[in-house]
């Protein structure tokens, strides 16, 4: 995904900075790690892209925790919308390297 390859940083707002920790115990750092570890499976999240393009990523943290991360890209910055542990189905998709 070319747009992701052109990103230079992350963007966090006050709400998203704490929301993922409070809801899913996923830290900002863990959310960001997914984008630096291989493999990374990325797909368009068309169902939730009414106002701006959204994608989801399936990946791993540095400790091997499998995460499902929804994000958008704004001015070459990755803006994480939500992050949580990957479900069994999502882990299987990740193992096969393919979104459904």
Cis peptide before 39 (omega within 30 of 0): yes
Predicted TM-score (pTM) of the model is: 0.90
Stretch 32-52: mean pLDDT: 88
Task: Output the pLDDT for position 45.
Answer: 87
Q: What is the pLDDT of residue 51?
A: 82
Q: How many CB atoms lie within 10 A of CB 12?
A: 16
Query: Which pLDDT band, with edges at 50, 70 and 90, does 15 fall under?
Result: confident
- pLDDT recorded at residue 64: 96
| Band of pLDDT at residue 25, cut at 50, 70 and 90 | very high
CB 57 within 8 A of CB 29: no
Count of residues for the chain? 100
pLDDT score recorded for residue 100: 56
CA pair distance 91, 4, nearest whole angstrom: 21
Among 20, 26, 46, 24, smallest CA distance to 100 is for: 46
> pLDDT (tens digit, 9 = 90+) per residue, 43-65?
998 777 678 899 999 999 999 99
């Amino acid at each position: 995904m070319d747009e992701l390859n052109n990103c230079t940083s992350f963007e966090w707002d006050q709400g998203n900075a704490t929301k993922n920790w409070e809801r899913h115990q996923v830290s900002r750092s863990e959310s960001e790690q997914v984008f630096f570890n291989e493999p990374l499976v990325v797909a368009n999240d068309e169902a939730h892209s009414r106002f701006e393009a959204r994608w989801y990523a399936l990946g791993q943290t540095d400790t091997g925790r499998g995460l499902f991360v929804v994000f958008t890209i704004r001015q070459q910055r990755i803006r994480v919308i939500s992050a949580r542990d990957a479900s069994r189905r999502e882990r299987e998709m990740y193992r096969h390297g393919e979104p459904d």
